Amino acid sequence: MPDAAPQPRARPGAVPAVEVSGVRLSFEDRRILDGVDLRVMAGERMVILGSSGCGKSTLLRVMLGAYRPDEGRVSVFGRDITAMAEEELNEMRRRWGAVFQGGALYNSMTVGENVALPLRENTQLDDSIIAIMVRMKLDLVGLSDFEDLKPAQISGGMAKRVSLARAIALDPEILFFDEPTTGLDPVTGGGIMRLINDLTVKTGATGVIVTQDMSCAFTCADRIALLHGGRVHAVGTPGEIRDSSDPLVRQFINGDPDGPIPFRLCRDNCAGALRAPPRRKSGRRPRPGSGEAEPAASP
């Protein structure tokens, strides 16, 4: 399958919105991204799937220009952002919005001020117009009654929706999502997925969605990319991915613990310890990103 990965389904006249080529990135000798190639066409929703700790968030940050890759380049709308000066990059950043894993709302500001901030800082609009726009954006995510609350006073799902409202404040051309549905109940998660779909369709924005949630992937994706071992292992439409015969892809969509992606709870089989009541203490779960449950990059 990796060789037979379908070519990008270029629509007539479609241009790449984000193009990642040969990106390598290491943290303290640990190579997280090892030659990632990915092309997201304008107007499509690309879902990036991968197991926990495989570097999805890292890849997203590279695309957002927050991490500079050791090698390779990232182009957004045909312009190489890895070689850009901060000033120039900030101009580009006004054309996209991002929703982070935990919402990342500014805790010292109210919900309304959070959404207003990009407008205040990047436009010369009057306060009264900004107030109307904030109300509109919050309406869109169904939270117009919560404008005056602080982020600490709303739930995780609401925080993600506010974060979405903030991300679309400047009507971005690309929307980036990090785990938009993780940790939410199915109904709220479904609501977020519908919002993602509606928003990208209505505004024609490109969507880049990082997730490990299969239902989110199949609901939102025009195309799916599977990240494994620091590379894009397979790319295809949801149909192509579902019918793939690649063992790794099959394992991922079936959620099978046995297969090419190694699975272990932690180094010294804690699952065994879990079954023995007196030694319960050591039966801790691996923390995401702690590197314990990672698919071993080295065998």
Ligand X SMILES: Nc1ncnc2c1ncn2[C@@H]1O[C@H](COP(=O)(O)OP(=O)(O)OP(=O)(O)O)[C@@H](O)[C@H]1O
127 phi, psi to nearest 5 deg: -60, -35
Q: Is 57 in the site for Mg ion (CB under 5 A)?
A: yes
11: number of Cβ within 10 Å: 12
Q: Is 263 in the site for ligand X (CB under 6 A)?
A: no
Dihedral (CA of 249, 189, 56, 265) sign: negative
User: Residue with structure tokens 């590279």?
Assistant: 62
Q: With contact defined as beta carbons under 8 Å apart, do 46 and 207 qualify? A: yes
289 phi, psi to nearest 5 deg: 80, 0
Binding site for another protein (CB under 8 A): 61, 64-66, 86, 89-91, 93-94, 96-98, 100-102, 104-107, 117-118, 121-124
Q: Is 212 in the site for ligand X (CB under 6 A)?
A: yes
For residue 52, the partner it binds in ligand X, another protein, Mg ion, none, with Cβ less than 5 to 8 A by kind, is ligand X
Greatest extent of the chain over all pairs of C-alpha atoms, in Å: 65
Least separation in angstroms between residue 57's CB and Mg ion is 3
Between 9 and 31, CB nearer to ligand X: 31
Q: With contact defined as beta carbons under 8 Å apart, do 228 and 50 qualify? A: yes
User: Residue with structure tokens 């989110």?
Assistant: 216
120: number of Cβ within 10 Å: 14
Q: Is 156 in the site for ligand X (CB under 6 A)?
A: no
The 8-class DSSP code of residue 188 comes to: H
Q: Mask: binding to ligand X, 109-148, rule CB under 6 A, as x and -?
A: ----------------------------------------
Q: Which stretch binds ligand X (CB under 6 A): 74-82, 135-143, 237-245, 284-292?
A: 284-292
User: Which residue of the chain is nearest ligand X when measured via CB?
Assistant: 57
For residue 288, the partner it binds in Mg ion, another protein, ligand X, none, with Cβ less than 5 to 8 A by kind, is ligand X
Beta strands in 157-271 (DSSP E): 174-178, 206-211, 223-228, 231-236
Q: Please, which of residues 79-98 interact with Mg ion by CB under 5 A?
A: none
For residue 104, the partner it binds in another protein, ligand X, Mg ion, none, with Cβ less than 5 to 8 A by kind, is another protein
Q: Mask: binding to ligand X, 36-55, rule CB under 6 A, as x and -?
A: --------------x-xxxx
Judged on CB neighbours under 10 Å (0-12, 13-18, 19+), 172 is buried
Residues that bind Mg ion (CB under 5 A): 57
Residues lying near ligand X in the complex (CB under 6 A) are found at 27, 32, 50, 52-58, 212, 288-289, 291, 294
